Structure formats: C-alpha cells, structure tokens
A and B are shown apart, each in its own frame.
Chain A
C-alpha cells in the first residue's frame, strides 16, 4: 500500500476545485490530473500528502476546442485524446508529434495529460518545450483572484517550479493555430526506451517573404526550463550541415551559466553538449516533414 492515504475530493466544476484548493494547506495538497506523477508521490515517504483533489470529474478539463486562430486544450486532455482528434486542425501538429513519442507506452499516453506535464515542470520532459515553441498561453484560476492568463515564457520558473500560486490551478491551455505552410520538427535524445529525455528540441520551419526558410528552434530537457535558442536561415534543406551545427552550438554555449539540468541520468555538461545535436536533428526533421 502507499505511504499516504490522503483525504479525497472529486469536484465537478472549476469553481469547486479552486475553492477546495484554497481551503486546504497547499504544501500537502495535490491535484490529481492524469496521476502519472502524483500517484507515484503517494509512495514517497519524504513528502507529506494529506489531501488529494481529483480533477477527472470536471468535464471542461477534457475538451479540445478551436475558436478562430486558437486551439484550447482542457488542462486534463490526455496524449491519447490529442492523438485521437479527427480534425487535425484542432490538434496542434507539434503536440501530436510529441504525444506519439511520450515515454511509457500506450498506458502513459492514456493517462498522462498535457496540463499535468506542464504543471509538474520536470526539466527532463517533452511538453514544456512543445508549449514554449508553440507560444501557448496558460489559463489559471484561483478562488480568490479569478482568472489569470500567463504567457508560456513566464510560466516555468525553474525545475519543478511554475508561476502557479499555491491556491491556483491550470484550467486551459490556449495554443495559436499554425500559419499556413508552417511545419514542425521534433527530436529527442534519451538513454533508453524507458528513460526520461536527456535533450529535446522543436523546430518550426516557416518560409520568409524573401523565399528563405526560417527555422525557429526551442530546446528543453537539457535545460532547467525550456529555452528559445534562435532562428536559423536556410535557402533549402541542403544548407543544413556542419555550419548549422556550429552556429547552434554557439547559441547554446551563449546561454547563461546554470541553464542546464543535472539529474541521475546525466550531468549538465553532457546535456549542454547534446542540446545542439537535438536542435540540429529537429531542423532536419522539419525539412523531412516539409518534403512529406
């Protein structure tokens, strides 16, 4: 059995969930989204879990909607839900690409959520990088202060740390619809099939008015928080070569000290070395997507 047997509540509305979160001590209360992180924590004797708020009864947390130029994902949309969307316009292609490649197999895709991964803010994960690359907006709610919309570049504050206040929960993620012609590449390096990623990168390929291709590159898993590394220009895919890699390495090397993440898998210096390789592979993947 688990180390903790917390009090359990199953709210059916955002307002009810926010009230519960405000009413109970934040340090020992957990929101149960997909459960892939929180249920594991119930086995961790070093952390106290006294209250569990189950979000699975809140219908709007599971919906995917498109309105004008924005796709809105409920905070508890699972990877499988995203992959099951029939109308691909309603499922951001980059997030679908990431969702299909999440570590842990179909079981984790059925259970893990986009919003949960963002809120957990594990540096060695995929979703934070995807959301930063997509310039998402995070819709947060507290019982006392109401709705707050946070641009994604302000959301991640550090390892396992977001801007969410103790009494605040993520309810929705707004993702801008891609411009016509945009294509996405994604690359992930990990030490084993079952491993958390060591480095990930997303590259958005967009044609400029000049006719050149611009690859806007975002890296993560190697870094403490996901980070834009730059925009790289190519006349065509034949331009993606050694000079590109060297240019990316310059950009990666210019990131401030302390930018890179260390965990039990690999060190920050290793991650710094492979981050540029992931970025390079993401650009190649984007050009491959364009060819498809």
Chain B
C-alpha cells in the first residue's frame, strides 16, 4: 500500500463519461461537487444520517458522503443535476406542484430516492413511499407535502 496518491476515476455522470484524478478514499460527494462541478448532492451531516448527499449509483440510492469515490469507478452516477432534460422530470414536477420543499436543502435526496422507487416498481404504495424516503431528514416540511407529491405519481 503506497501513500495517499490520487488515482484516475472514470465514471458516467448524468449520462456523460468523465475521468477525474482523485484521492480514492475521498467521499464521493466531495469529488462530485468540487472536482466534477455538480452541486445537486448537498453536504449535510457527513455521517450517513441526513440523506442530503444522496445520488443514484447504477440506479440505486446511496449517501455519497459515506461512499469512497473509488467505488464509483466504472459505474453510472446520477445526481439531481441530470434529472431534468427539456422539462422537469415527473418527480420534480410533482414536488413543484405540491410545494414539497421549503429551504430545499434535503430536496435532492428525497427526489432521487423517489426516482429510484418509481423506476424500480410498477406498483407503488404509501408504505413504499414512506420506506423510500426513510433515510432522508427534512426539518421544514414535516414530510406531508413530500408524501403528497409522491402519492400524486401513483397510477399516473
């Protein structure tokens, strides 16, 4: 094992292949924000608690503050920044329609967890929604409008 050298990291970020030179143990959230320039993943607790830094890796949600960036090598990473194309994605639109955010700091994590849920399951229940966002903390909304936004996407 040698010193803490930087290593090449190649990943697909929001559909584009990029190569970075990063310290392999660096948290993915730092590499995404500081080296790749995407600001969707927020830095909150740095402890795996709050979920503000959530990203999708190969379509599954992860808390990127506790993912060593080396583990993203060769994988597809998706952040809030990549969701909207010409228009907002369905989950973003639902959040907009239902005022499902106030300060917005946690919004990225909630949205990405719900994106993963609705991609993975054809039929989604209220319990599935509660479970999907259980790893995300919000201190503004009381969660109700977030849940309402998600419920509006069922059977669309």
**Residues of chain A whose beta carbon lies under 8 Å from any beta carbon of chain B:** 1-2, 4-10, 20, 23-24, 32, 35-36, 39-40, 42-43, 51-54, 56, 80, 104-108, 110-111, 193-194
Determine if B38 is an interface residue (Cβ-Cβ < 8 Å): no
User: Which residues from chain B contact A5 at a C-beta distance below 8 Å?
Assistant: 4, 23, 25-26
- Chain B residues with a Cβ closer than 8 Å to the other chain, count: 37
Give CA–CA (A43, B25) in the complex, Å. Answer: 12
User: Which residues from chain B contact A104 at a C-beta distance below 8 Å?
Assistant: 48-49, 63, 134-135
User: Which residues from chain B contact A35 at a C-beta distance below 8 Å?
Assistant: 66-68, 71
Complex contact B137–A56 (CB within 8 A): no
* B51-75 interface code vs A (CB 8 A; 1 in, 0 out): 1001000001111011110110000
CB-nearest residue of chain A relative to B143? Answer: A193
Complex contact A36–B132 (CB within 8 A): no
CB-nearest residue of chain B relative to A49? Answer: B25
**Residues of chain B whose beta carbon lies under 8 Å from any beta carbon of chain A:** 1-4, 7, 23-27, 30, 34, 46-49, 51, 54, 60-63, 65-68, 70-71, 113, 116, 131-137
User: Which residues from chain B contact A51 at a C-beta distance below 8 Å?
Assistant: 1
User: Which residues from chain A contact B70 at a C-beta distance below 8 Å?
Assistant: 8, 10, 54
User: Which residues from chain B contact A7 at a C-beta distance below 8 Å?
Assistant: 1-4
User: Which residues from chain B contact A6 at a C-beta distance below 8 Å?
Assistant: 4, 25
Nearest chain A CB to B27 CB, angstrom units: 6
Nearest chain B CB to A189 CB, angstrom units: 17
Give CA–CA (A5, B7) in the complex, Å. Answer: 13
Which one of A2, A20, A24 lies within 8 Å of B25 (CB-CB)?
A2
Give CA–CA (A67, B47) in the complex, Å. Answer: 38
Nearest chain A CB to B142 CB, angstrom units: 13
| 15 interchain pairs, CB-CB under 8 A | A5-B4, A5-B25, A8-B1, A8-B24, A39-B65, A40-B48, A43-B47, A54-B71, A104-B48, A104-B63, A105-B136, A106-B61, A106-B135, A107-B63, A194-B137
CB-nearest residue of chain B relative to A56? Answer: B71
Q: Beyond A40-B47, A194-B137: 19 further Cβ-contacts under 8 Å?
A: A1-B26, A2-B30, A5-B25, A6-B25, A7-B4, A39-B67, A39-B68, A52-B25, A52-B68, A54-B68, A54-B71, A56-B71, A104-B134, A105-B61, A105-B113, A105-B135, A106-B60, A106-B116, A108-B48
CB-nearest residue of chain B relative to A2? Answer: B27
Give CA–CA (A25, B23) in the complex, Å. Answer: 21
Complex contact B1–A39 (CB within 8 A): no
Nearest chain A CB to B70 CB, angstrom units: 6
Give CA–CA (A105, B131) in the complex, Å. Answer: 6
Complex contact A193–B66 (CB within 8 A): no
User: Which residues from chain A contact B132 at a C-beta distance below 8 Å?
Assistant: 105-106
Most buried by A among B25, B26, B63, B132: B25
Complex contact A107–B25 (CB within 8 A): no
